[in-house]
Amino acid sequence: MNFRLFQIAFFKRWWEEQDTEMHDKVRELVKNGQLEFINGGYCMNDEANAHYTATIDQMSVGLQFLQKEFGPYAAPRIAWQIDPFGHSSAQAGLSAQMGLEGLFFARMHYQDYQNRIDNKELEFNWVAEGGNIFTGKLFRHYNAPPGFCFDTLCNDPPIVTNKKSPEYNLDERLETFVGLLQEQADAYRSGHIMLTMGSDFEYENAHKYYKNLELLMKYINANTTQNGFKMIYSTPSRYMDAVLSNIKNLSNKTDDLFPYAESPHSYWTGYFTSRPTLKGYIRSMNSFLQACKHIELMAPATSYTSELLRLAMGVAQHHDAVTGTSKQHVADDYAERLAIGQTQCENLINTGIKHLTGSVNDLYSCRLAANESTCHITGDTTKSIFTFIVYNPRSIAKDIYLRIPMSSSAYRLVNPTDPTAFVSYIPTHYTSYQINPKALPIEAIVHLKVPGMGFTTFQLKKDFGIDYRIVMKSIPVVKTENIRIESESLIVYFDGESGSLKQVVDKKSQKTLRISAKFMNYRSNVGDKLDRQTSGAYIFRPVNGTVAQDIDRPILKNYLPGEFVTEVWQSFGDWVNLVYRVYVNKPYIEVEWTVGPIPMDHGREVILRYSTDLDSGKTFYTDSNGREMLRRVLDYQPTWSLNQTEPVAGNYYPVNSRISIKDMESHFTVLTDRSQGGSSLSSGQVELMLHRRMYKDDFKGVGEPLNETQFGHGLITRGRHWLFYSDLDSYGDHRDIGLDLFYQPVVSVGGDVEVGNIPRSGIQNTNKDLNVVTFERFDETSLIVRLENIRSKSEGGKMISADLKKIFGAYFSENFKELGLAGDRPIEKRKKYRLRLCVDTTA
């Protein structure tokens, strides 16, 4: 008999409680093939909302643990993704690059499922960026055949073989069971079927379950000629081997499996947005974890490690975590685990920088990217000087605008390592006081350059005699005149009365885009005559036959011109606000949105809709977990004939990091700071769902309404979009811009700290298309590096030659080896899936 295990987070916790004797027994089971690990990740991650870097990290935590404890015997061959609510092509490609050979899943659109049953294509070859992988759809989710669950919570009858018993049912049970086996076999080509026996919360009475299962196997196998089947205990990898030995011509799949619908009015597209603040926190901690691992490698050893944040981030990628589909107290626990890991990493970073500088002064962290404009250090009015040490986790130099909450503007910038650094001050946005009444009144905007994976420093020193520190003030606007803002790349026009965005000119191509942005909401369905299905944490289902409604009339609240950044503030009623920012040297417009508390008069799903004059037709593009862009067409699926039953929810897709529309000459791309649901329901439009609140559950497993609150009222959430418009020749630049949005600077703050000894940069990389995904300690004597070419061929990407010795300097060693993507097995195990990256080590 063979057993298989996945989701290493659970196994690791058990393993660490066992003694040496038990460890030896388990290792023997693994070596003999009696215990097989599948998937091998720390969790079974979601595939809509998890960023590819977070997926790589969580898979690496689990797979490297297995390698360390069990060696090559435990290396999984199967990606076991049986519970996520839709499946991405990026996940398939990453699995292949990790050396996994097969992928099994359980959920797909009900129409696609029936089509594949009819054509016997429930098993196929998934052709993804990075590699191909054998893929199989489980027949009945991951449950036992109906009528054959033998656990405590099931009501199915046990098998009675005694013919003298009045409850004898063997003949009927066998006939029914063989019929179910034949129904499944008719949907596959190979002559083999995978029969899943079990489900969630089952095998509480394992003895009863196995006793009945053994009876089924005994009597089926006693007459294989008559029954037509032979039953054996097996594993997913053995099943895959049997299938591939019998069938050679599998169909290819090149797209993904979104959106998932289990019935005509149950589209699982709400979870693309559910719990937006948790989604934003997880995304920001993803970037922060990379910085933490960098400094853990660069700095001398401290008593702090990145381990807690690694594990918390691993759990946070679970298909009921980053999805926002857990109960509220569970979501709170995810956030608490992240906060504990964040604190540990903050201590690591501050202590590491202190060692690097040789300073005797302590450093502290201000969570500047949080929802609140607060900082316990810079809010101290007794301090006359603040020292800031800024780390850039991206592998190339960045030009950044750092926003620092301050108690006043009476500070001038001194001693910057970047001689072009500049500071200006702006009043804190009024919504910050709604989020936190203790928000500081002023924000310092510091413009500076930071080297790739390196540091820069500056100080703010109290000085009441400096004039340029005057806070940027609102400029009156004649309501009949447009507001015109010009940067190096763009000319942007806003309406002088409403503050609404009107027009963008790309100076390079001289092309003009007419554009507007407005907040709208869909009314959540609570069940109707068509179907009792409601909107909830999983499901997005607007009231049938309705379209999104405007929330309120936009009003211009503030126009704040500045030397390096100009802001336009806009409100839409009492609970929705927008800030536009045009930076002098950036090719995008920053849109900061604040939504909440959503009124509870009825369920609402809040969107931000951008309308342009691009002739994009029915086509738009969304990213797959932050990697390749996939073509989407309204009311269309490329591999089957779609009968659209939910014209809004059925056209929503996960937008992990960006969504684009194009015409023959130009594109309009919106980059996001977290995963959101999005679509293009009309030509020239892009809409993104920002926030959701409802008072009904959707009956899909959470068991409570999606009704987030804070401080006694509904949740207020804040986030950012970056709007990028250019001609098609510059379309691929969204890759570079997207990494700037992902890799956020990390800031340590102290008093009068000596920082003269701090190293400027950990690496030397000037190619913005070459990204260092991973730079971290692998074990006591080595480090692991992952590199990627960020542009695809369709975006102008070319093969990159990388001189590792030049890039990594003192960190480079001639004694290096290539590994699979997760770092748990030699590259030879997955040669056919190798990255197209030339490595030159001759320098």
Catalytic residue set:
83
Compute the radius of gyration of the chain from its Cα atoms: 28
Name beta bridge partners: 556. 570
Backbone dihedral region for residue 117 (phi beyond 0: left; psi -120 to 50: alpha; all else: beta)? alpha
Q: What is the spatial distance between Cα 247 and Cα 83, in angstroms, rounded to a whole number?
A: 26
Q: What is the spatial distance between Cα 302 and Cα 296, in angstroms, rounded to a whole number?
A: 8
Q: What is the spatial distance between Cα 467 and Cα 471, in angstroms, rounded to a whole number?
A: 10
- In the numeric block, which tokens belong to residue 188? 């596959």
Three-state SS string across 48-112, please? CCCCHHHHHHHHHHHHHHHHHHHHHHHCCCEEEECCCCCECHHHHHHHHHCCCCEEEECCCCHHH
Q: Are 695 and 707 in contact (CB under 8 A)?
A: yes
Question: CB 64: neighbour CB atoms within 10 A?
Answer: 20
Q: What is the spatial distance between Cα 786 and Cα 774, in angstroms, rounded to a whole number?
A: 5
Task: Report cis status (omega within 30 of 0) of the bond before 84.
Answer: no
Q: For tokens 């990790």, name the residue.
A: 98
DSSP label at 769?
T
* Interior/surface letters 223-256, b for 16+ CB within 10 angstroms, e for the rest: eeeebebebeebbbbbbbbbbbeeeeebeebebb
In sign, the C-alpha dihedral spanning 321, 322, 324, 328 is positive
For Cα atoms 288, 427, 468, give the angle at the middle one, nearest 5 degrees: 100
- In the numeric block, which tokens belong to residue 659? 């969504």
Q: What is the spatial distance between Cα 268 and Cα 35, in angstroms, rounded to a whole number?
A: 34
Name beta bridge partners: 604. 523, 693
- Reference 370, options 287, 280, 442, 456; nearest CA is 280
On the 0-12 / 13-18 / 19+ scale of CB atoms within 10 A, 783 is middle
Secondary structure class of 282 (helix, strand, coil): helix
Q: What is the spatial distance between Cα 116 and Cα 98, in angstroms, rounded to a whole number?
A: 28
Q: Are 128 and 92 in contact (CB under 8 A)?
A: yes
**Please, which residues have CB within 8 angstroms of residue 36's CB and are 6 or more apart in sequence?**
2, 3, 4, 5, 30, 76, 235, 237
Q: Are 499 and 555 in contact (CB under 8 A)?
A: yes
- In the numeric block, which tokens belong to residue 796? 């102008």
- Reference 483, options 408, 398, 570; nearest CA is 570
Q: What is the spatial distance between Cα 218 and Cα 220, in angstroms, rounded to a whole number?
A: 6
Residue 332 amino acid letter:
D
Q: What is the spatial distance between Cα 525 and Cα 522, in angstroms, rounded to a whole number?
A: 9
Q: What is the spatial distance between Cα 733 and Cα 272, in angstroms, rounded to a whole number?
A: 25
Which stretch of DSSP H or E encloses residue 294? helix 276-298
- For 806, phi and psi rounded to 5 degrees? -70, -40
**Please, which residues have CB within 8 angstroms of residue 810's CB and are 6 or more apart in sequence?**
none
**Please, which residues have CB within 8 angstroms of residue 226's CB and are 6 or more apart in sequence?**
none
Task: Report cis status (omega within 30 of 0) of the bond before 259.
Answer: yes
